[in-house]
Amino acid sequence: MNQLEVLRESLGQCDEIVLDALLMRNRIVEDIMAYKEANDIPILQPEQEAKQREWLNRRMEGRRHKDEVTAVFEEITRNSKRIQARKLFDYNIVLIGFMGAGKSTISDFLRTVFAMEVVEMDQIIAEREGMSISDIFETYGEEYFRNLETELLIEMQSKTNVVISCGGGVPMRERNVVEMKKNGRVVLLTAKPETILSRVKDNHDRPLLEGNKNVDFIAGLMEKRREKYQAAADIVIETDGKDKLEICEELVQRIRTLDAEE
- Residues forming contacts to ligand S3P in the complex (CB under 6 A) are 99, 103, 122, 133, 167-169, 206-208
CB nearer to ligand S3P: give 29 or 200. Answer: 200
Q: In angstroms, rounded to a whole number, what is the distance separating the alpha carbons of residues 32 and 217? A: 47
**Does 225 appear as a known binding residue?**
yes
* Residue 74 C-beta: closest distance to ligand S3P, Å: 30
* Residue 189 C-beta: closest distance to ligand S3P, Å: 10
* Residue 159 C-beta: closest distance to ligand S3P, Å: 20
> What residues have CB less than 8 Å from 104, skipping those under 6 apart?
120, 165
**Does 21 appear as a known binding residue?**
no
* Residue 110 C-beta: closest distance to ligand S3P, Å: 15
Q: In angstroms, rounded to a whole number, what is the distance separating the alpha carbons of residues 184 and 209? A: 28
DSSP per-residue codes, 74-110? HHHHHHHHHHHHHHH-SSEEEEEESTTSSHHHHHHHH
CB nearer to ligand S3P: give 126 or 248. Answer: 126
**Does 105 appear as a known binding residue?**
yes
CB nearer to ligand S3P: give 168 or 184. Answer: 168
**Does 158 appear as a known binding residue?**
no
CB nearer to ligand S3P: give 102 or 183. Answer: 102
Q: How far is CA 99 from CA 23, 134, 217, in A?
A: 43, 14, 12
**Does 103 appear as a known binding residue?**
yes
Q: In angstroms, rounded to a whole number, what is the distance separating the alpha carbons of residues 83 and 106? A: 20
DSSP per-residue codes, 154-200? HHHTT--SEEEE--TTGGGSHHHHHHHHHSEEEEEEE--HHHHHHHH
Binding residues for ATP: 100-105, 206
Binding residues for Mg(2+): 104
Binding residues: 100-105, 122, 146, 168, 206, 225
